[in-house]
Structures are given as C-alpha cells and as structure tokens.
Amino acid sequence: MSAPGSAGRGSGPAAQYQRDRVTWLVHWQLALWGYFLFGFEPVVPLLRSEFGLSRTVAGLHGSAISLGTILAGLAYPRLCARFGRRRTGWLGVAGMCGGLVVLCTGRHLGATLVGALLAGGFGALLVAGSAAILSDNHGLLGAAAITETNAVCAGAGLLGPLVVGAAVAAGLGWRVALSLLLIPAAIFVVRHLHTPVPDDVAQVPTAGPRRDRLPRPYWFAWLVVVALEGVEFSMTFWAADLLRTRVGLSAGAATAAVGAIVGGMFVGRMLGTILTQRQQVDVLLLGAVALAGVGFTLFWIAKTPTAAIAALALTGAGMSLHYPLAVSRAVAASGGRADRASGRIAIGTGCAGILAPPLLGALGDSVGLHRAFLVVPMLLVAAAVAVCAGRT
C-alpha cells in the first residue's frame, strides 16, 4: 500500500506549477477566510473581558465556528452535487459576510455566538472547496497549489491580528477592524463572479455502500488533520491570553503579537510551495511537526515578551505546512472522492475546533493556562504517530 503523501510529490523537472484564474479565485477566497479567522481568534480574550466571561464560556466562540465547520462538511458534497462548486463557493462568501455583520453588531453573548456560527460555517465551505478544486485543477502538483493558497490565507490572516490590535489600541474596537473585510469581499465578487471552476469529475461511482466508503489510508490521514488542527486552534485562540498573564503584555499588544504565529505560517508556506515540488510530503510534514514542537517548547518556557514572540514565530513556521500537507495527503488517499474527502476533512476540523479551545480554556481555569498548554505537544505527538501509521 502506498503512503498517502506519495501523490503529493513533485512529478519531476518537466512538471511546473502554473497559476491560472481558478488558482487566483481560490487564493482570493482563502484570503477572505484567513483575515476573518485569524483576526477573530485573538478577539476571544477581548470578548471575555467585555462580557465578563470565564475562559470556558469565551471558548464557546471557537466551538461555534467549529460547529459551523462541521455542518459545512456535512453539506458540502451535497451542495456541490446540486449547485456545483462555483455556486457553492459564492454561497460561502455571502454567508460568511452575513455572519460577520451579525458578529460585529452583536452586543451580547448570544449574538456573537450566532455570528461566529454563521461566519464559520459558510466560510468553511470555501476551505473545503479549496482543496478539492486545486487538487483537480493541478493534478500531481495539487500539494504545491494547496500550500500556496494557504500561504495566501496566512498572509491575509497576518493582517487580522495586527489590524485588530491597532484598532483596540486606538480605541476604535475590534468590530471596526473585522468589518473592513466587507470591502475586499465586494471587490472579489466583482472581479471573479463568473470565473468557472472544475467540478468533481473523478468521483468513484457509488454502486453500493461499501464502494462509497473512503479507504483506510484516508482515515489515518484524516486523524493527522484533526490533531494538527487542534494544535492550530489552541495556539491561535489562547496564545494572546498567555502572553498577557505570563509575560505581561497589554491586551492590544498581546492580540497583535499573535500575528507572529501567522507571520511564521506565511513564510513557511511560501517556502513550502517550492519544497512540495521537490520533496516527499510525509518527510516534510514530520519535519514541520518537529519544528512546531521546538517552537512551542521555547514559547512555553519564555519569560520575556521578545522571547515569547520569537518562539511564536518559530511555532508558526512549523505549523505552516500542517494543514496544507495533511489535507493534500488526505485527498490523495481518498480514492478519487475529492468532494466527499473534503467534506469529511471539514467535519474533522470542526471537531478539533469544538474540543480544543474549550478544553484548553477549561484546563486553564482549573490548573492555570500555562500548564493547560501542554495539550499542544500531546497533539503533535499524536499527529506524528498517525502519519507513520498511515504509511504501513
């Protein structure tokens, strides 16, 4: 049995990764999602202070986004079958913007939870579609395309915490910063509304229930995605709070400092676009897991703002290749069921998001946030084990 990641290897010197309108369409979609997600995650501690919430209750915002992601994963294959990938993508853009409006106008916990649910669920349709579309559009170089579009996502996401932090420091509030997303979304609609995308032509016929099942190697790859997404959710949701309580940064500075994670992810993914064309995916993924582990260790023991922020950047560099490589492995191992595989990945991502932030928040309330962060290396080890198990 071949390793799930083998399909993501570059196909040799003759193969060249080339961007087309479909590539740029997906880049734009993931840029919108990246700004919202990475901009909102450090807002959670601010909501905790604004509404007087415990860490456990504040973490429900992450659970709301993740619940929306699960619902999107269940709906995505059906929506694509009925409306096609292009219309499903536009539904995701419209719904995410609508959820953002609800979130930013909400002045109580119920409203912000509903806004997070809507924005997260509809935005997850864009994420699910990106892997399937780019895999079909770029073939053997799908891993490079997926890595690059996630680099674009991280690049846009890098702006999120910085803009939110600046807005908070200037007294404008986080709502103004997140609402700025509506401007590029409108421009995106005008530029790409009629761009066609490849619909799923590689699906395996479903003549019986057993033939419709995703193969065993896929589920090992799926477990890798879930564990590594748990790491990402934990770091981006609660790193700002730890920076405030352990190294003494202000709320605005700690929120902006989370951008170090996204900055590291951006740089790592840009380099990863080249590396995925030259190196075996599983080797790159295990190396990225190890690098994230080193960065996290330095962050966990850091006692000064400079050391902590530098460690976050290193952790982000390791985390940069987690999602794109794990997803490309899963799609490659799906036996041609790209839309179904992407939907299941979205469900797994949602489960990680529902469990990880509230679990870490609850542990933080009971044993302290510093000790609670030890969940992260446990998830990294689990991911590495699943990568190795899936190769046998």
Which tens digits make up the pLDDT trace of 31-54?
A: 999 899 888 877 888 888 888 888
Q: How confident is the model over 158-180, as a mean pLDDT?
A: 85
pLDDT of 139 > 80? The answer is no
- Of these ranges, 136-145, 286-295, 340-349, the one predicted with the greatest mean pLDDT is 286-295
Residue 292 contacts residue 315 (beta carbons within 8 Å): yes
- The token pair at 253 is 């500075």
pLDDT at 292 over 60: yes
Would you state the pLDDT for residue 15?
56
Q: Which residues contact 271 (CB under 8 A, 6 or more apart)?
A: none
Q: Between these two residues, 228 and 197, which has the higher pLDDT value?
A: 228
pLDDT at 260: 87
Q: Please say whether the beta carbons of 378 and 355 come within 8 A.
A: no
Q: pLDDT at position 186, please? A: 87
Does position 61 have pLDDT exceeding 90, yes or no?
Answer: no
Average pLDDT, integer, range 356-371: 84
The 10 Å Cβ neighbour count of residue 102 is: 17
pLDDT exceeds cutoff 70 at 115: yes
- Average pLDDT over the chain, rounded to an integer: 83
Contacts of 292 (CB under 8 A, 6+ apart): 231, 315, 317, 318, 319, 322, 380
Rounded CA gap, 296 and 84, in Å? 41
The dihedrals phi and psi of 166, each to the nearest 5 degrees, come to -65, -40
Q: Residue 364 pLDDT more than 90?
A: no
* Block residue for tokens 């049995």: 1
**pLDDT recorded at residue 13:** 38
Q: Using 50, 70 and 90 to split pLDDT, how confident is the model at 293?
A: very high
This prediction's pTM:
0.74
Q: What is the pLDDT of residue 200?
A: 57
Backbone angles phi, psi at 72, to 5 degrees: -65, -40
Report the distance separating Cα 243 and Cα 162, nearest Å.
15
What is the amino acid identity at position 81? A
pLDDT of 283 higher than 50: yes
In this prediction, residue 301 has a pLDDT band, given cuts at 50, 70 and 90, of very high
Does residue 293 or residue 134 have the better pLDDT?
Answer: 293
| pLDDT value at residue 212 | 61
